[in-house]
Amino acid sequence: MREASVPVRGAAQVAYAVDDVRGAAVAWSERTGAGPFFVRDHPPAVALDACGDAAVFCHTSAFGQWGPVQLELVRVHAETSASLHEVLPAGAGLHHVAWFADDLAAEQQRLVGLGWPRVMAARTFSGSGYAFHDARHDLGHLVEVYERTEGLRRLYAHVADASRDWDGRNPVRPLPDLGPAGPSEERP
């Protein structure tokens, strides 16, 4: 039986580590019908490792829709967080499952309390906060949590809207500028 103090959370995103983001997007599209995928190359982020020290997290991601869930295909190019480096999957495979948190700090505390330590926290160029937690012992993968922001809402809406009535053509596209940062997303 579910304890009443544990809120129900739904996965917003499933992410796979891949060697070639664009090639993987084409393959996922052809094999599963997911897509279309929008690629963001090397988005800047201000990252901190588990100790709170500055870290680099450089990656390329392709975002597509797979039924009700967003699918991210991610290629990590460089990271300097020792805590993240230790837990990143080698090669291709399940990278993380993500969900939104109404209170990012409280959700991180809850995850740490479950025995899932934070391995990296970051802010996107638009100010959206997110964090990776190591849930491999229980789930076999990382967990990513992020705060609800207007920028992320626009990203999720753009990806989902593009998938409606998509005919399978042009499965890989650049991620367009989705507008200025919202009031809670001041650039660092």
pTM: 0.86
Query: How many structural domains are present in the chain?
Result: 1
What type of residue is 127?
A: G
Burial state string for 110-124 with b = 16 or more CB within 10 A and e = fewer than 16: bbeeeebebbbbbbb
pLDDT of 54 reads 77
Task: Give the 3-state secondary structure of residue 103.
Answer: coil
Is residue 177 assigned to a domain? no
d(CA 159, CA 38): 7
Token pair listed for 70: 């967003």
pLDDT of 17 reads 92
Is residue 47 assigned to a domain? yes
Please provide the size of the chain in residues: 188
pLDDT of 46 reads 67
pLDDT of 44 reads 62
Instruction: Give the residue numbers spanning the domain of 152.
Output: 13-164
Neighbours of 137 (CB within 10 A): 8
Neighbours of 106 (CB within 10 A): 10
pLDDT of 123 reads 83
List, for the chain, all residue ranges whose pLDDT scores fall below the cut of 50: 1-6, 182-188
d(CA 112, CA 109): 5
Is residue 76 assigned to a domain? yes
Is residue 188 assigned to a domain? no
pLDDT of 179 reads 72
Is residue 125 assigned to a domain? yes
pLDDT of 81 reads 67
CATH number, domain with residue 26: 3.10.180.10
pLDDT of 80 reads 65
Is residue 157 assigned to a domain? yes
